[in-house]
Amino acid sequence: MPDNDPIQSFITELRRGSLTLAVLGCLRQSHYGYALLQTMQEKNIEIEANTLYPLLRRLESQGLLVSDWDTSESRPRKYYTLNEKGQTVYKELLNEWRKMQGNIESICREDGDHGEVD
Amino acid sequence: MEKWIDRYVYDVVRQLPEKDRDDVSRELKSNIYDMLSDHPDEEEVKAVLVELGSPSLLAEKYRQKPRYLISPAYYESYVRTLKMILPLVGGIALVAGLILGALDTMKEDQVQVISLTGDMVSTGISLAFQAAFQALLWTTIGFVIADRTKDKAESGKTEEWKIEDLPEVPAHDRGKIPLSEGIAEMVMTIVFTFFALLICSGKIPFLISLNNGDTKISNLFNPAFLHYFIPPILGMALLGLIASACKIKYRRWTPVVCGTVVISSLISMVIMIYLLNSPDILSSESIAYFNSVDWEELSTLRLWGMSGGRSILALISILVAIGYLVESGKAIYKTMKAKRQA
């Protein structure tokens, strides 16, 4: 991320944690890497391929995802889905995110209402 | 076309730990092919790889934990220490090199100014570079070790701690030993031991030239005896290293640190004085020289010159003793002061 721009680096920092939540949310349904990238971009979540692929690998190594290679097609693809632990983590994170959003809203209310909810 | 993908994936995974390479390689290839159309041309492949970004950056993201030789927490003091040590060691070695170069040239009968300056400068610079390189190497090694061991010690401690374990804040932070002091001492010890060993093993001649070059002594010390210097020099180096390691570990003038510094200084002092006063230390040519000097001319030195330079060595011994005693005294004084303030 070549962001010397301080605003950009704040945005990146702010986004970092919520990206995990967005990925976990998408993976309630099974996705392979590139399809997940497209799903997220459809939802206007800015994520780059070189961030998403390593993130998938990390979440898998942390035991939140199950993965399965589908070799029946001409291109082998690795499909990821939330497992039980992943589901729990996703719900916890979502609760936390909603709480935090409410808190921040209540602090920043006087600055107008820019709540971008999907 | 496929070769670009293979080369890209190879460049990424070669920067990863062995055990992750196969998996990441397979995943990454599958993802890249998914990003391409069914029959991509070379331009399309290149565009997708450019979109994925630099292989090093991608590898860094796959590695999960950033890897450091010296962690950011220590980087500042690492740079500070280098800024202090490199010019110092380099400067001392430069001066020593200039002198050695001059002595070397003066051995020849006809001394020409050009060859003299040339020799001085080249010996000086090469010695300065060698010394600075040694200093850089050992400082880095010192910090890497400090960093690694600190990490372990701390990760053990963070698990459980009690409020009562918090250290009391000293009234003034004067008992503190800066990290740079310990590491600087350690590096100086290693660098100077290195050169002392070179001299003792005969790799660098220790030459001396007196009376405007009329008298030349090619070996001030007895070359056979110099070999016996090596174990004591290593011993003193070890003591010095232990003392500076203590300073690095505790970073404070505690009784343990003080004791180590004092014991190390006193033992080194005894060794130095013993060596300087051993009967075989001087080479026969320097004994002959000292005996031949008309000490009447140097009235202040008359007292010292009575037994073939032996008294000059006695004078050096006294200076060495003073140096070590001052070092010990300083340690005791600082420890007492730190204790009173605590």
Whether the CB of A15 is below 8 Å from some CB of chain B: the reply is: no
Residues of chain A positioned with their CB less than 8 A from the CB of B25: none
Q: How far apart are CA B163 and CA B296, in angstroms?
A: 73
ipTM of predicted assembly, 2 dp: 0.79
**How is domain A2-110 classified at the CATH fold level?**
Arc Repressor Mutant, subunit A (1.10.10)
A51 touches chain B (CB under 8 A): yes
Tell me the pLDDT band of B215, cut-offs 50, 70 and 90.
low
Say what the pLDDT of residue A95 is: 95
- In 3D space, the residue among B11, B83, B1, B104 whose CA is nearest the CA of residue B46 turns out to be B1
Q: Does A57 touch chain B (CB under 8 A)?
A: yes
Of B40-54, B163-177, B241-255, B300-314, where does mean pLDDT reach its minimum?
Answer: B300-314
Per-residue pLDDT tens digits for A26-37: 999 999 999 999
Sorted by sequence, the CB contacts under 8 Å of residue B273 that are 6+ apart come out as B317, B320, B321
* HEC-encoded secondary structure of B30-55: HHHHHHCCCCCCHHHHHHHHHHHCCH
Does the distance separating the beta carbons of B53 and A57 come in below 8 Å?
Answer: no
Q: Which of B27, B51, B61 sits opposite A51 (nearest CB)?
A: B61
Contacts of A65 in chain B (CB under 8 A): none
Chain A hits for B27, Cβ within 8 Å: 33, 53, 56-57, 78
In terms of Cα–Cα distance, which of B125, B122, B123, B134 is closest to B85? B134
Residue B284 has pLDDT above 60, yes or no: yes
Considering only residues B106 and A32, tell me which one the structure prediction assigns the higher pLDDT.
A32
CA distance B64 to chain A (A): 7
Q: Residue B305 pLDDT more than 50?
A: no
Q: What is the pLDDT of residues A57-103, one digit of tens each?
A: 999 999 999 998 988 878 889 999 999 999 999 999 999 999 999 99
Greater model confidence, B262 or B164: B262
Average pLDDT over residues B287-306: 55
| Min Cα–Cα distance to chain B from A41, Å | 14
Q: Which of A117, A116, A86, A93 is nearest to A18 (CA)?
A: A93
- What is the C-alpha to C-alpha distance for residues A56 and B183, in angstroms, rounded to an integer? 43
Residues 17-46, chain A: which have Cβ within 8 Å of B? 32-35
Cβ of A54 within 8 Å of Cβ of B51? The answer is: no
- Say if A80 is an interface residue toward chain B (CB within 8 Å): no
Q: Which of A15, A51, A52 is nearest to A32 (CA)?
A: A52
pLDDT tens for B151-169 read 555 555 555 667 777 766 6
Residues from B contacting A (CB-CB < 8 Å) are 23-24, 26-28, 30-31, 33-35, 51-53, 57-58, 61-62, 64
Give chain B positions within 8 Å (CB) of A53. Answer: 27-28, 31, 58, 62
- Higher model confidence: residue A42 or residue A4? A42
Question: Which of these ranges, A110-114, B65-69, B281-285, has the smallest mean pLDDT?
Answer: A110-114
